Amino acid sequence: MAKPTELTEGQRAYEARRAAKAGMSLEKWLAEKEKRARAEAAEAAKEAEVAAKAVQTEKKGWFGRLLDKAHQPLK
């Protein structure tokens, strides 16, 4: 099985066509593609962190507090 950085012949041809359409060399196109992928992954991680923080800081409503009490052991 090929490593993620190694392209099969078909994948290489497809990426070469996309690079030519964008007016870039194949190497430059692949470097830009990798750069975009890293930026998107970093942005997704940042958004996930913000979303997790927002969930933790939300106040619980009446029903949420009732469920929390229901899950506590009886004294």
Asked if the structure places residue 2 within a domain, the reply is: no
**Cβ pair 29, 19 in contact under 8 A:** yes
Is this prediction's pTM over 0.85? no
Question: Per-residue pLDDT tens for 35-74?
Answer: 999 999 999 999 999 888 877 766 788 998 899 899 998 8
Q: Is residue 51 part of a domain?
A: yes
Cα angle: 17, vertex 19, 25; to 5 degrees: 120
- Number of structural domains in the chain: 1
Residue 57: inside a domain = yes
The boundaries of the domain holding residue 57 are: 9-71
Distance CA 38, CA 33 (A): 9
What pLDDT score was predicted for residue 2? 46
pLDDT of residue 1: 45
Q: Which two tokens stand for residue 11?
A: 């994948």
Whether pLDDT at 75 is above 80 = no
Phi/psi region, residue 23 (left: phi>0; alpha: psi -120 to 50; beta: rest), is left
pLDDT digits (tens, 9 = 90+) for 6-24: 889 999 999 999 999 999 9
**Residue 49 within any structural domain of the chain:** yes
pLDDT in the model for residue 40: 96
